[in-house]
Amino acid sequence: MAKIADIKRMRELLTMFFCVADSAHLAHLNTRSFAQHKALGNFYEFAVEFKDRLIEYMIGMGYVGNIQLNSVEANEDPVSEAQDALEAIEEFAEEADDSTLENMAADFQEALGKLKYMLMLK
């Protein structure tokens, strides 16, 4: 059985990815820039699919038994929120010595890098 600290950490990690998706979606809806709207929309769609993929993997591998989240509060800056979530999953993947999670983190990093680039465009 997982320790209370481990369960709390899993909730925090998964909550971060829910927040990333919500923050990207809000920023996508609230921007007045077409380029930002498109970039954030693409990232939002990626983040939702990634979150689902991550949760299914973590349940399948026994990292979590079911999904219970802390309250989700979307940050105003989806890029910094995504960077924090990326660092958290990289840390967890390294500690768990899980190459699949490391690869998933690399996929997320690639999408974040693309978002950062697209947001540079006017």
Chain-centre distance for alpha carbon 70: 15
- Can you say whether residue 62 is alpha, beta or left, with left for phi > 0 and alpha for psi between -120 and 50 degrees? left
**10's tokens:** 């899993």
Give residue 121's pLDDT: 87
**Which pLDDT value is given to residue 5?**
54
pLDDT at 10: 79
Dihedrals φ, ψ of 65, to 5°? -95, -40
> 116: burial class by Cβ within 10 Å (0-12, 13-18, 19+)?
middle
Cα(22)–Cα(27) distance, rounded to whole angstroms? 9
pTM above threshold 0.95: no
Q: Which domain CATH number covers 108?
A: 1.20.1260.10
Mean pLDDT per 10-residue segment, the chain (122 residues): 62 89 93 94 97 92 78 80 95 92 97 96 79
Q: Which amino acid, residue 115?
A: L
* Secondary structure tally for the chain: helices H, strands E: 4, 0
Question: Closest Cα to residue 24, out of 76, 88, 86?
Answer: 76
| Side-chain half-sphere exposure of 93, counting CA atoms within 13 A | 17
**DSSP states along 23-53:** HHHHHHHH---HHHHHHHHHHHHHHHHHHHH
Range of the domain at 68: 4-120
Number of domains in the chain: 1
Q: pLDDT at position 43, please?
A: 97
